[in-house]
Amino acid sequence: MSVAFRVEDDLIASLRKNPERTLAGSMDGNRFTANVGIANYKDHIVAHYHSELDGRTPAELSELLSTPFDFGHFGLILNFDNQTDLILNDEEKKLVPDMRALVDTFGPIVLRNACLQSAAQEPAQRNIFPHMRFHYDRSALQDSQISLFSRDPNDPEQRFPRQSSTLFVANVVAWLQSEREGLNSSDKALSLRASYDLFSAENVRPLFGDVVFDQPWNAPEGTGELCIIDNRTVLHASFHGDLRGKGWRIGARYLV
């Protein structure tokens, strides 16, 4: 039986107030735990990119870049006790309101031990994103700005833990890292690019949980996993580690 996605307002308010805690909730009797990926994200950005911000706040720089930044905390993980089939969009591919609110508040939303309702299991695109190329999937001209990435526990490949992860950053972090690496043009107005090849000379792992949110797709064999982002506010890339094991291709669907 599919479960309509619904998260109590009190739970979200508690997470925003106490982002270091792991809290419990339920949907139609399906219990889950909820925890924030990176608490106080703005503070991490300011500490790590103090020089590149040059006295500006992340929100002020984002305004100059014509992109919104309103993340108090970044990333939210809901881990269900039992495999749960979720209804995340309607027949017109519109994201359900509760998930829409979470994406707006936290950026990347990860659902573990969760699958899409059977009615939504239309064939998905299958992607392995380029290593450390932070990008968005949808241009501003497209209506479907929501990316829904999936791991199908019944798929012969995807049922196994993946050998590479997906990394997420707020738009402003990609620009700041590009500025640190000397890749931004100095003779043009501030703007965001569609993609950034970053961290080629730096070990990015220490930044997981700091300014980079990591979704490793490494839950036990046969576990469903989903991840939802808004391409207008968050960029993503693959992290293949030593590049010898990219693992299976992630399912990708695009919603409104």
Distance from C-alpha of 155 to C-alpha of 158, rounded to nearest angstrom: 5
Task: Give me the chain's average pLDDT, please.
Answer: 93
CA distances 157 to 222, 225, 235, 251, Å, are 10, 14, 26, 11
Judge whether residue 1 has pLDDT over 80: no
Q: What is the pLDDT of residues 197-236, one digit of tens each?
A: 999 999 999 999 999 999 999 999 999 999 999 999 999 9
| Domain residue spans of the chain | 3-255
Residue 115: the pLDDT is 95
Q: What is the pLDDT of residues 61-80, one digit of tens each?
A: 999 999 999 999 999 999 99
The predicted model gives 161-186 an average pLDDT of 95
The predicted model gives 31-46 an average pLDDT of 98
Strands 30-38 and 23-27: antiparallel
High-pLDDT (> 90) share of the chain, %: 85
The span from the first CA to the last CA of the chain, in angstroms, equals 24
Eight-class DSSP state of 218 = -
Residue 124: the pLDDT is 72
- Amino acid at position 144, single letter: S
Judge whether residue 110 has pLDDT over 90: yes
Judge whether residue 119 has pLDDT over 50: no
Judge whether residue 243 has pLDDT over 80: no
Contacts of 73 (CB under 8 A, 6+ apart): 15, 16, 19, 36, 37, 38, 39, 40, 41, 106
